[in-house]
Structure formats: structure tokens, C-alpha cells
Amino acid sequence: MSEIISADQQHIQFNTGSCAGPVAVFSRKLDGNMSLHHGDTGASLEHRKTFLEAYGIDYRQLVCAQQVHASGVYRAQAQDRGRGAMEYATACPATDSFITGEKNIPLAIFTADCLPVFLYAPQYPCIGLVHAGWRSTAAGIVAKTLACMREAFGVTAQQVYAGFGPAIRQCCYEVGAQFRDTFPGQVSERQGRLFFDLVAANTAQLLAAGVRREFISDCGICTGCRCRDYFSHRRQPLPGGRMLSVMMLR
Ligand SMILES: [Zn+2]
């Protein structure tokens, strides 16, 4: 098995049939810890600067959230540029999802097993970037984000393309029996152990909201299987680094 990851695996490929579109990228472990809140944060700003420079993004413009595993959606506008970019305290409070219809606003979420969901409606155009762990998924965060995009920009779910970033997958995500009640149909049993399919749960939510199946793409990376290349909170909880997912209209 190859240990080499090609550069384009850091991009979300939307099924739009076009190369044009928003910046939609995620970092890897070798890019360093990107969080100012988890793990060793001493070099996080330097890591962000280096990673984002490749996409022509000024790391000081990043719009960050104080992620709380709930379902708060925040509409980012020009005046929000740089919120949480230099210190965690100024990040948007109680936010696990961003939307925007404005160009050159780099939205950021941080993950290590939770699922980054990238949403893009070319018609407006507008974007959404969601931090979907199991709690936020149970709270319907993807459906709520689609509803916010419809309300703010007038785009329907049928017009939205979705892309999944790296996350812990069903192969590695062992859970307790209570998940069967929260996510009926998305928990499977193997040798007496239960595993949750976070991607399937979010796919079901997208489809139920009206997103077309052929508009959904998935990078397919499991942070658990690939914990050497990606931060995995469950596989390697310490020192607890986070990957950065960024989305920006240009
Ligand atoms: Zn796995």
C-alpha cells in the first residue's frame, strides 16, 4: 500500500462537472496541528499560514468557530473576516456550521474524526461548511444548514452539491448501544460490537432534505484507518491535534 498521498486528495471534488468553484480543502497531519484550542497550539498559526498560502489565503482572514457539537449555524459576512484567526477567544461562539454568499471569506472548521461537510450551490453562488460529529448530526445540523442557505440565499437543497472530507468511518467508529436509538439504520454489528456510520447518517440527512444523490461526493478517507496521516481523536487522543477544513468563494 502506498504511503504517498497525492496533493489533489486534499481537495473536495464536487460533482458539478466543472473545475471552477470554491476553494474546498482540508489539511493532513503532516501540515501540523491547526487548532488554537486543542493539543499543542504553539505552532498552529505558523501551520495555518503555510497551509493557506498555497491557496492564496491570508491566515489572518480566517473565520473560525468555537465548536460545541451542537447545531448553531452562523452566516459569515465581510466584517467577520479574521474572527478567531489569531486567538480562540474571538472565534464565533457556539457555532458548528458556517454559510456565506460573499467572496473571499475563508470559512474554517477543525476536526479529528468528526465529519467536515462542504456545501456549494453554484447558482447563487453560496457555500456552507459544517462540523458534523455525532451530536451535531443527531441535532440535524446539515439539514439546518441547508434551511439557512435557502432562507439567506434562496437556493433549494436540490441545487446544492455536497462533499465529505476525512472522518472516522464505520470500519473504526465503535459505539455504545444507545446509538441504535439515536441513529436507527446507521449502526451495524460485527462480532458483537457496534459501529456507527457517520457518513451514512449525514448522507441520509442530505437526501431527506432534497439533495440529489448524484450531487454528493466523498473523499473516502477514514481518519481511524489512516491515523498516521490524519489526526484521529479516537485512535490517538493525545496530544490531540486538529485538521483544518477551509471553504471560500472566489
Ligand atoms: Zn477506518
Mean pLDDT, contiguous 10-residue spans, the chain (250 residues): 51 89 96 96 97 97 98 98 98 98 98 98 97 98 98 98 98 97 96 98 98 97 96 89 97
- Residue 240's pLDDT is what? 87
Beta-carbon contacts of 19 under 8 Å, excluding residues fewer than 6 positions away, are: none
Report how far ligand 1's centroid is from the alpha carbon of 230 (Å).
11
DSSP E strands in 161-241: the ranges are 161-164, 174-175, 187-190, 193-196, 216-218
Overall pTM surpassing 0.85 (yes/no): yes
- Residue 16's pLDDT is what? 93
Partners of 108 in the β-ladder? 246
Report how far ligand 1's centroid is from the alpha carbon of 235 (Å).
10
Report how far ligand 1's centroid is from the alpha carbon of 188 (Å).
14
Cell 460529529 -> residue: 133
- Residue 1's pLDDT is what? 37
* Cα 127–chain centre separation: 12
Distance CA(248)–CA(20), nearest Å, equals 12
Q: Which CATH class is domain 10-168+216-248?
A: alpha beta
Report how far ligand 1's centroid is from the alpha carbon of 173 (Å).
7
> Residue 126 in contact with residue 153, Cβ under 8 Å?
yes
- Residue 22's pLDDT is what? 97
